[in-house]
């Protein structure tokens, strides 16, 4: 699963690295070292141009059910809530790394999982318009997950789909599809590393570089 994310690159880096043509409401971007569901973050889509929109993390915030902030890759084509979004509502969720908690018996140890060269991770997502608690239309997204790769299974059995650059370009290119879009979900970057961080990140209101501080020793 992926329930805590980060995106703290500056705007110039994001635009250059992801070849962004348009950034809607760019000045509203706030870097985050501890991003939780229901919060806003930049999400990349492509219609005529590669565009970033600010979207809220999670589907279904008017529902009495728990909001959907992850979607399993294995059941996307089966579940009604996702099946209709695959053809036209694909997106890339930007990440400088995310957190998972390793179960160590009586306690859980947080780890920061990131690109080993410091690049922005391009997570596969689905997006749509939703209605918030105040009756206003909002763009929302969910992050697609799959079974964790061997190097991460010791931390958690699931991971977000972290696309290769080639697969990411195909995933968001909804106007000129080439092949089954679900096949792109298994073309992942292999440049992923992890390290233990302090429990400062456990509190979702803590949002500073201390969240990604490595535990020494």
For residue 18, the domain's CATH number is 3.90.1680.10
In a domain, 198, yes or no: yes
In a domain, 183, yes or no: yes
What average pLDDT score do residues 14-40 get? 96
Domain with 81 in it: 5-212
Place of tokens 């190097």: 151
The CA-to-CA distance between both ends of the chain, in Å, stands at 27
How many domains are contained in the chain? 1
Q: What percent of the chain has pLDDT over 70?
A: 95
Task: Please work out, in degrees rounded to the nearest 5, the angle formed at the alpha carbon of residue 77 by the alpha carbons of 75 and 83.
Answer: 115
In a domain, 217, yes or no: no
The alpha carbon dihedral of 89, 123, 149, 36 has a sign of negative
State whether residue 108 is helix, strand or coil.
strand
Residues 203, 110 contacting (CB under 8 angstroms): no
Give pLDDT, residue 63.
62
pTM: 0.95
The H or E element that residue 34 is part of is: strand 32-35
Q: Is the pLDDT of residue 78 over 70?
A: yes
In a domain, 90, yes or no: yes
Residues 156, 148 contacting (CB under 8 angstroms): yes
In a domain, 128, yes or no: yes
Q: What percent of the chain has pLDDT over 90?
A: 82
In a domain, 71, yes or no: yes
């Amino acid at each position: 699963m992926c329930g805590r994310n980060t995106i703290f690159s500056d705007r110039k880096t994001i635009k250059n690295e992801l070849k962004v043509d348009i950034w809607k409401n760019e000045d509203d971007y706030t870097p985050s070292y501890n991003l939780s569901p229901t919060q806003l973050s930049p999400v990349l889509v492509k219609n005529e141009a590669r565009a970033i929109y600010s979207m809220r993390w999670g589907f279904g915030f008017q529902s009495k059910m728990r909001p959907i902030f992850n979607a399993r890759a294995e059941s996307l084509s089966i579940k009604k809530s996702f099946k209709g979004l695959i053809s036209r509502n694909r997106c890339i969720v930007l990440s400088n790394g995310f957190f998972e908690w390793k179960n160590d018996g009586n306690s859980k140890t947080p780890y920061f999982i990131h690109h080993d060269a410091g690049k922005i991770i391009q997570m596969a997502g689905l997006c749509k318009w939703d209605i918030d608690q105040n009756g206003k239309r909002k763009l929302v997204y969910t992050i697609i997950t799959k079974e964790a790769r061997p190097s991460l299974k010791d931390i958690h059995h699931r991971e977000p789909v972290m696309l290769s650059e080639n697969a990411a370009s195909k995933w968001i290119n909804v106007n000129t599809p080439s092949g089954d879009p679900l096949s792109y979900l298994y073309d992942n970057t292999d440049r992923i590393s992890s390290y233990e961080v302090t429990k400062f990140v456990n509190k979702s209101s803590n949002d500073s570089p201390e969240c990604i501080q490595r535990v020494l020793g």
